[in-house]
A and B are shown apart, each in its own frame.
Chain A
Amino acid sequence: MPLVRNGKIAGDEFVHVADDAEIPGDGAILISSARFLADAETLSRRAGKTGVIWPNNRDVDDLVPYLDRLAAVALVFPIFRDGRAYSQARLLRERHSYKGELRATGQVLRDQFVFMLRAGFDTFEVRKESDAEAFAQTAKRYSVFYQPTGDGRLTALHRRMQQRHSESAGQ
């Protein structure tokens, strides 16, 4: 499955470690939330990078105490029609100021890229090769946005205000 990070197809430094597999001392790993929470203090202080796969039906508040020690949070779209992880992503980024990698996993398709970027995702486990290749182009599909999110883009409402102010300043 191709990985897109910061807009480009990239290699994945993280290894998915199954719940019954041994956790390596170093190296970047992604583990389940259950496994992480069972021993969060130790795991969040291990030498290698640690990332957690967080299910979309569990409150992200439970993860908040560890956020500054996590290298990655992977949120899940079990099917693309299930949009719970968009809310989780915005909460992590905007309310809890999470700065690490925020990864979209599951049924990640081209036509969700813009929404995901706006919600704060920066890394994507993309289902189809062709979608991954089209990432850069798709991300540019929209140039105007009506809603403010943590991605910092100006909304149409605010652009209109700026335009107004610059017009009146020019008079």
Chain B
Amino acid sequence: MYAYDELDRTIINERVSEFRDQVKRRLSGELTEDEFKMLRLQNGVYLQLHAYMFRVAIPYGTLSSKQLRRLAHVARRYDRGYGHFTTRQNIQFNWIKLAELPDALSDLADVGIHAMQTSGNNTRNVTSDQWAGVAPDEIEDPRIWSELIRQYTTLHPEFSFLPRKFKFAITASAHDRAAIKVHDIGLRLHKNAEGETGFEVLVGGGLGRTPFIAKTIKPFVPGRDLLSYIEAILRVYNQYGRRDNIYKARIKILVHELGIEKFAQEVEDEWLQMRDSALTLDDEVVEDIRSRFSYPVYEKLPHMPEELKKAAHDPYFEAWRKNSVAPHKVTGYAIVTLSLKPVGGPPGDATADQMDAIADLADKYSFGEIRVGHEQNLALPHVARRDLPALWRELDKIGVATPNVNLVSDIIACPGLDYCSLANARSIPIAQELTRRFANHDTANLIGRLHVNISGCINACGHHHVGHIGILGVEKNGEEFYQITIGGRADENAVVGTLIGPAVPYGEVADVVEDIVEAYLALRARPDELFIDTVKRLGVEPFRERVYATR
């Protein structure tokens, strides 16, 4: 956990009082909606179909139990008793009143949570691997650098009015759980031949109307130069990014139009003029941030305690353990994923009661720490393996032990037309129907790893382009239709999926997904060939044939 100091607290409190004044001026008519809109967006406030929506940042996906309880409090006090975890380590509340927002922000500020820049044309919440600090394969904890970037990008005087939104993601593992290749800037922490820690910097990834996979702009930027290099990229983008067309304003379009070599040269020229500036991160500064992250004092525990051996006789426990428990860097401990994808439920939603219960379990079993991942699930990052059976029973009681992590019913979905003013079609009911179709755990297990992603419009908040199966809602003559892509992925081998054919109506989406899955089961070379690999091997044609033969 990163502990705020007086300076961090001062900034977020000053931000709350500024926003309180802005809301007051808006409600009195001193500010027009046109003037206010960007100000509210910069504090995470959207206007959706039914009400204002409030998006709160969970930087690099790390929460303390105290913070989670405060989110539960906001859900109960200012909203309708639940919240929605998003694909970018944020939580959204759907029914907030503008007049009460300053109070909600103030309650969150008390525990070091803010909503700064969770929307608007500025640098957004910095996301990272939800297993940061505990993953066995990582170089070092990427959250140190995430926090440095969080501070650097917060209320930046030069880059608060960029051409368009701007998103960072960081990973320090070989396996990318942070989807860095679909971010405006993706950072991969690694060590060079001299053993020095630095970053491969990728730029220009993004989904939306025109999806692009990020390209490497510089293979190695030393940690000390990270902020100056980022500033150079942002400065080039701020000056040359397109502002004439909202759909062409992201940095991915600038990189595409200039070409990566030309863009890289512009950045390099800028960077060489400022790399030895006040932005240089001395070891001492980095160490100071590092020192304010606290880590648990782990016990020396056995890998295979008696409790686990005994519980192995319970097939339900075993199904859950095999699915939701991942190796930890410390022997005797495990990372436990909490599925927010119950059968028939809206993906990523948690009630205030669940949040409180999870906070209590985190205190009891995970050193008071909770993680939020881009797959819209939560995790307890430091669970002693001996406690797994007891924890499982508790998680099951509150409905977050569905053993479907990374399986076909672990669906990523945006809020869609049920909530969102941009949506063309609904997402949640599609997801709910799919979880019912694939509710049988043995079937889902037989199918294996398969990511289904659903977006209710081309803005792609459900990351449909990079779903193994991607579902995009469109509108045809006032009816909801859905385009289906397959073969996308968001990890280190990120690729945009391929459209399999004409859009299908709302009522047929689940049937089509079943057809695709059946085709895969018939076509796969071996039981352990994953869906994504079968698509890669065979292309979309056999799937297209299967789906459209009878349609």
A and B touch in the complex (CB under 8 A): yes
| Residues of chain A at the chain B interface (Cβ within 8 Å) | 80-84, 86-88, 90, 95, 109, 111, 114-116, 118-119, 130, 141-149, 155-161, 164
Residues from chain B with a CB closer than 8 A to the CB of A83 are 121, 158-162, 238
Candidates B14, B158, B277, B285; contact of A144 at CB < 8 Å: B14
Give Cα distance in the complex from A141 to B21, angstroms.
11
A84-B238, A160-B288 are contacts. A142–B157 as well, Cβ < 8 Å?
A: no
Q: How close is B464's CB to chain A, nearest CB, in angstroms?
A: 29
Residues from chain B with a CB closer than 8 A to the CB of A115 are 155, 157-158, 160
Candidates B30, B121, B157; contact of A149 at CB < 8 Å: B157
A146 touches B161 (CB 8 A): no
> What is the number of contacts between chain A and chain B, taking CB atoms within 8 Å?
96
B30 touches A130 (CB 8 A): yes
Residues from chain B with a CB closer than 8 A to the CB of A90 are 158
B14 touches A147 (CB 8 A): no
Q: How close is B135's CB to chain A, nearest CB, in angstroms?
A: 27
A144 touches B284 (CB 8 A): no
Q: How close is A76's CB to chain B, nearest CB, in angstroms?
A: 13
Residues from chain A with a CB closer than 8 A to the CB of B151 are 146, 156-157
Q: Is B326 an interface residue (CB 8 A)?
A: no
Residues from chain B with a CB closer than 8 A to the CB of A116 are 157
Q: Is B33 an interface residue (CB 8 A)?
A: no
Considering only CB atoms, which chain A residue lies closest to B235 in the complex?
A: A87
A161 touches B11 (CB 8 A): no
Please give 14 more A-B residue pairs, beta carbons under 8 A apart, in addition to A142-B14, A146-B154. Answer: A80-B35, A81-B38, A81-B121, A82-B161, A84-B238, A86-B160, A87-B238, A111-B39, A118-B157, A119-B158, A142-B155, A146-B11, A147-B152, A149-B158
Q: Is B528 an interface residue (CB 8 A)?
A: no
Among B7, B158, B162, the one with the most A-chain Cβ atoms within 10 Å of its Cβ is: B158
Residues from chain A with a CB closer than 8 A to the CB of B162 are 83
Residues from chain A with a CB closer than 8 A to the CB of B137 are none
Give Cα distance in the complex from A156 to B7, angstroms.
6
B161 touches A143 (CB 8 A): no
Give Cα distance in the complex from A86 to B10, angstroms.
25
B288 touches A161 (CB 8 A): yes
B288 touches A148 (CB 8 A): no
A146-B151, A161-B284 are contacts. A86–B157 as well, Cβ < 8 Å?
A: yes
| Residues of chain B at the chain A interface (Cβ within 8 Å) | 5, 7-8, 10-11, 14, 17-18, 22, 30, 35, 38-39, 121, 151-152, 154-162, 235, 238-239, 243, 273-274, 277-279, 284-285, 288-289
Which 5 residue pairs across A and B have the least CB separation, nearest first? A83-B161, A148-B278, A118-B157, A115-B157, A156-B7
Considering only CB atoms, which chain B residue lies closest to A117 in the complex?
A: B157
Give Cα distance in the complex from A111 to B158, angstroms.
14
Residues from chain B with a CB closer than 8 A to the CB of A159 are 7
Considering only CB atoms, which chain A residue lies closest to B150 in the complex?
A: A146
Among B7, B154, B159, the one with the most A-chain Cβ atoms within 10 Å of its Cβ is: B7
B30 touches A157 (CB 8 A): no
Residues from chain A with a CB closer than 8 A to the CB of B30 are 130
Among A81, A95, A118, the one with the most B-chain Cβ atoms within 10 Å of its Cβ is: A81
A111 touches B22 (CB 8 A): yes
Considering only CB atoms, which chain B residue lies closest to A147 in the complex?
A: B156
Residues from chain B with a CB closer than 8 A to the CB of A141 are 14, 17-18
Candidates A109, A142, A149; contact of B35 at CB < 8 Å: A109
Give Cα distance in the complex from A119 to B238, angstroms.
14
- For this complex, 23 residue pairs linking A to B, each with C-beta atoms less than 8 Å apart, are A81-B121, A82-B161, A83-B162, A83-B238, A84-B238, A87-B238, A95-B274, A115-B155, A115-B160, A142-B11, A142-B14, A144-B7, A144-B11, A144-B14, A145-B155, A146-B154, A149-B157, A149-B158, A156-B8, A159-B7, A160-B288, A161-B285, A164-B288
Give Cα distance in the complex from A163 to B274, angstroms.
27
Q: How close is A144's CB to chain B, nearest CB, in angstroms?
A: 5
Candidates A118, A146, A161; contact of B152 at CB < 8 Å: A146
Candidates B17, B161, B243, B285; contact of A86 at CB < 8 Å: B161
B239 touches A84 (CB 8 A): yes
Give Cα distance in the complex from A28 to B284, angstroms.
49
Give Cα distance in the complex from A109 to B17, angstroms.
18
Among B35, B273, B284, B288, the one with the most A-chain Cβ atoms within 10 Å of its Cβ is: B35
Considering only CB atoms, which chain A residue lies closest to B38 in the complex?
A: A81
B238 touches A157 (CB 8 A): no
Residues from chain B with a CB closer than 8 A to the CB of A87 are 158, 235, 238-239
Candidates A82, A84, A118, A143; contact of B10 at CB < 8 Å: A143
Candidates B14, B22, B152; contact of A143 at CB < 8 Å: B14
A146 touches B14 (CB 8 A): no
A119 touches B121 (CB 8 A): no
Q: How close is A114's CB to chain B, nearest CB, in angstroms?
A: 7
B278 touches A144 (CB 8 A): no
Considering only CB atoms, which chain A residue lies closest to B6 in the complex?
A: A144
B35 touches A114 (CB 8 A): no
Candidates A80, A88, A146, A158; contact of B155 at CB < 8 Å: A146
Residues from chain A with a CB closer than 8 A to the CB of B160 are 83, 86, 115
Residues from chain A with a CB closer than 8 A to the CB of B273 are 95
Give Cα distance in the complex from A119 to B288, angstroms.
27
Give Cα distance in the complex from A109 to B22, angstroms.
12
B158 touches A86 (CB 8 A): yes
Residues from chain B with a CB closer than 8 A to the CB of A119 are 157-158
Residues from chain B with a CB closer than 8 A to the CB of A160 are 5, 7, 288
Give Cα distance in the complex from A160 to B7, angstroms.
9
Give Cα distance in the complex from A116 to B158, angstroms.
8
Q: How close is B291's CB to chain A, nearest CB, in angstroms?
A: 10
Residues from chain A with a CB closer than 8 A to the CB of B156 are 146-147
A83-B161, A90-B158, A115-B157 are contacts. A144–B288 as well, Cβ < 8 Å?
A: no
Residues from chain A with a CB closer than 8 A to the CB of B277 are 148
Candidates B17, B161, B288; contact of A157 at CB < 8 Å: B288
Considering only CB atoms, which chain B residue lies closest to A128 in the complex?
A: B30
Considering only CB atoms, which chain B residue lies closest to A111 in the complex?
A: B39
Q: How close is A139's CB to chain B, nearest CB, in angstroms?
A: 12
Considering only CB atoms, which chain B residue lies closest to A142 in the complex?
A: B14
Give Cα distance in the complex from A144 to B4, angstroms.
13
Give Cα distance in the complex from A145 to B11, angstroms.
8
Q: How close is B336's CB to chain A, nearest CB, in angstroms?
A: 34
Residues from chain A with a CB closer than 8 A to the CB of B159 are 83, 86
A130-B30, A156-B151, A161-B288 are contacts. A114–B157 as well, Cβ < 8 Å?
A: yes
Considering only CB atoms, which chain A residue lies closest to B37 in the complex?
A: A81
Q: How close is A70's CB to chain B, nearest CB, in angstroms?
A: 21
Give Cα distance in the complex from A156 to B481, angstroms.
51
Among A83, A87, A109, A141, the one with the most B-chain Cβ atoms within 10 Å of its Cβ is: A83
